Amino acid sequence: MKKNVTPIVCLLCITLISLTITGCKEDCTDGPCERQQCVIVCDSVNSAPEELLNYFVFNVGSHWVYQLKGTSILDTMSFAGIDSEYFEQKAECNFGITPCEMRYRVFYDHSNLERFPMHQGVSNESYSIAYSQSRNQWDVEHISHTKTASSLNFFLAYPFNINQQYSETTFLGDTVIEITVPSGTFKCIQTESQVANPEGVIMSMYWSKGIGLVQYQISTDQIWELIEYQHE
Using an 8 Å Cβ cutoff, are 163 and 176 in contact?
no
More confident residue, 214 or 151: 214
- What are the tens digits of pLDDT across the range 64-110? 999 999 999 999 999 999 998 888 888 778 777 778 888 999 999 99
What number is the average pLDDT over the span 32-42?
Answer: 71
Closest CA to 150 of 99, 220, 93, 197: 197
Distance CA 205, CA 102 (A): 25
pLDDT tens, position by position, 196-208: 555 545 578 889 9
Contacts 24+ apart (CB under 8 A), 171-180: 177/206, 179/206, 179/208, 179/214, 179/215
Helical (H) or strand (E) element with 9 = helix 2-26
Number of Cβ atoms within 10 Å of the Cβ of 43: 6
Residue ranges of the domains in the chain? 2-36, 50-230
Residue 138 makes CB contacts below 8 A (sequence gap 6+) with 48, 49, 52, 129, 130, 131, 132, 157, 158
Phi, psi of 150 (to 5 degrees): -65, -15
CA R_g for the chain: 25
Task: Please compute the mean of the pLDDT values over residues 12-26 and round it to a whole number.
Answer: 37
**Which tens digits make up the pLDDT trace of 149-191?**
444 567 777 887 766 666 655 556 656 789 999 999 999 888 7
pLDDT at 133: 79
Residue 12 confidence (pLDDT): 37
| DSSP secondary structure letters along 15-65 | HHHHHHHHHHHH--SSHHHHHHTTB---SS-BPPPHHHHHHH---TT-EEE
Averaged over 44-49, what is the pLDDT? 90
